[in-house]
Amino acid sequence: MRLAMKSAAFALVITLMAGCTGKNSRNEIDHQVEALLSKMTLHEKIGQMTQYSYGGEKDSIPREVIEQVEKGEIGSFLNIHEVGVSNKLQSLAVNNSRLHIPLLIARDVIHGFRTMFPVPLGQAASWNTLLVQKAARISAIEASAEGIRWTFAPMLDVAHDPRWGRIAESCGEDPYLISKLGVAMIRGYQSDNLADSTALAACGKHFVGYGAAEQGIDYNTTWIPEVLLRDLYLVPFREGVKNGLATIMSAFNDLNGIPASGNPFTLRQVLRKEWNFDGVVVSDYTAMLEMINHGYCTDEKEVAYKAIMAGVDMEMVSTTYSKYLEELVKEKKVPEKRIDDAVRRILKLKFKLGLFRNAYTAPGRNKVDLQPDFLATAQELATQSLVLLKNENHALPLNRNIRSIAVIGPLADSPADLMGCNVADGQAKDSRTPLFALRQSCEPSVRINYAQGLKTSRSKETTGFSEALDAARRSDVVVLFLGEEAILSGEARSRAFLDLPGAQEDLVREVAKAGKPMVFVIMAGRPLVFNTITPLAQSVIYSFHPGIMGGPAIADILLGKSVPSGKLPVSFPRTVGQVPIYYNHMNTGRPPTEQSKDIPTGTALDPVGYTAYQLDVSYTPEYPFGYGLSYTTFSYGDLKLSSQTLMKSDSLVITTSLANTGVFDGTEIAQLYIRDIAASVTQPVKELKGFQRLNLKRGQKVTVRFVLYPEDLAMHNDKMQWVTEPGKFFVWIGGSSDSGLKGEFEYR
């Protein structure tokens, strides 16, 4: 039910804006924006550029906040998560402010609102764009029911360092995969029409290079050559902009010495001039103010000056714009046109969202949370995010003759940890843990022997070991739930080591004394290193943090009701000393070989065996990008290219046969990679250029078909020109980045 609009003046504005929705022409919206902008004072314009954080109750809104809203000094609110508060503040804005401009209510809706899905890194392991889009759509439906119309997602950062806690929010290490999944999330959040009352404006973050923080330490410095910036880190953002991304967030980090919130090259040159992005740019939480700590600004006034001149439209939480922009304009240091441009974009977004038509949310809409089909989607996505890393002697699925299962570990029955990091509105009580799910799913004749072993993943207290060993001895098989709890990943959760925290490895070794077959299920927000205990397990499943339906998803995989299909979206190192390690690296003049395993036999005078490797560890990852096993097996064969030459205005078709050669129906994710053999700027040894999820019945054989176009081969040369250079290329189709059938063609 729409709340009453008391102001006659506001009714006049509504009449003027009637019918203005996200589907109206750009000219129509522009006309309405200009009409409103012409009536605004400089003070009111700056108010639109201010985002205030308030997460309290509707009946206790501070008087100063009420006054600011009524004076038009706040354009957006962060952290509101309840429809009553949202409607109360909207009422103050549309009824009591001079121009009756509605507010933009924002919230971190990262991987779910109430229905929590796997963390984004886990979603990426599904390689399923349609399912990821569906999850984002559900998140938008639930969040918008509380008055939220703007989310700070998806995160489009390329992440090469698993020590970085925010890798959990990323979709991994590859710009192509991130782009595809990021666009899927954008479409899910924004729907087909931003004016749909269930749509959220998406926000691509963090612009740009945040995932390249030195040492994997959050907020740290980034140094990225321009060609790498353009061909790697900017790629997912460019694709997001091409696909209608509504807003972008400037990052915390400095980039090549210039903080992202004051960086005219990235914000004005690339984003505005080259990409013609006309959406809103918002700073990250106090990121503008932090330019003082960076040593880029001397005081808050300089912060406001450099941010507006660089291209930040809205300031999140900090208040340098509201304090100093009027003064800077009066001093003629900042042209008022810069203010107008920013406000124009903010107002345009509000019109596109339909907020001028109706700023309110019907209170009854909040009944949408946790609908059965939402939970089913959460379980399906959790299932597809599970990656089978090892399955020795077909230990999984568990044999139907098993009569007892030991469920052991600190994460077996930890509802909050299932949800992972960045959970603003999810509730632990909604989670269905693996222990709960196994008890529900197993036959009544199967006994579940549960022992926590450790109180938390970080615990070093071993008093629970004896109970765990006893549970193992009384069982036919042991399922150990290991990893890191949710608070160890996410923002400001960088780690120097990637081992299982606490005494988990000791717990595994103790339980192994029972001599029973063991299965590891590892939950984490990042790749972990656990190869010292892997030999003790017959099977290893990596689940990331799988969301509230992670328990049933894991149980179904263990019991054979579902077949694993996930593939890794990021390389797993053998040791932290390999970091950063990623598949799409450049070659060296002395690349490693299979023989690069020991101290080279040569000398500096005769450098036999001098290659790019470390003496004490293999140069390969523990598990490569794109890797993941199934309960069945797949075979690729008969690679064919439609031509040995790709011409400028043509396309190249690459096909291969794919057969399910095992005893289960299953899903394979076929992956297409290329390599530019020689170019004016060195290129990666492999680059993902396509993938397909293919469901095959056992014994079924299909033809997999990919198409390459000249633009798929493009790169930035040393003059930063986007070009496709003539030359030879390798092409592979296979089940991971380190395998596949290989072909060759030439581009002319």
Phi-psi domain of 80 (left: phi exceeds 0; alpha: psi -120 through 50; beta: other): beta
Omega before 162 within 30 of 0, i.e. cis: no
Task: Say how many CA atoms lie within 13 Å of 746 toward its Cβ.
Answer: 4
Among 471, 486, 478, smallest CA distance to 431 is for 486
* Overall residue count recorded for the chain in this entry: 748
Q: How far apart are the first and last CA of the chain?
A: 63
Whether 415 and 431 have beta carbons less than 8 Å apart is answered as yes
How many Å apart are CA 368 and CA 351, to the nearest integer? 25
Parallel, antiparallel or unpaired: strands 404-408 and 387-391 = unpaired
- Give the rounded distance of the alpha carbon of 690 from its chain centre: 19
Q: Contact at 8 Å (CB) between 475 and 590?
A: no
Handedness of CA 432, 438, 444, 449 (dihedral sign): negative
Rounded to 5°, angle at Cα 592 from 591 and 597: 165
- What are the structure tokens assigned to 253, written together? 């980090």
| Residue whose entry in the numeric block shows the structure tokens 């639109």 | 48
DSSP per-residue letters across 118-145:
--HHHHHTTT-HHHHHHHHHHHHHHHHT
Best CA proximity match to 669, nearest among 358, 384, 249: 384
Known catalytic residue at 712: no
Biggest CA pair distance of the chain:
89
Q: Phi and psi dihedrals of 483, rounded to 5?
A: 130, -145
- Which of these is catalytic: 161, 284, 676, 712? 284
Bond preceding residue 726 cis, omega within 30 of 0: no
What is the DSSP code (8-state) at residue 2? P
Q: How far apart are CA 213 and CA 223, in angstroms?
A: 8
Burial of 293 (0-12, 13-18, 19+ CB in 10 A): exposed
Provide the annotated active-site residues.
284
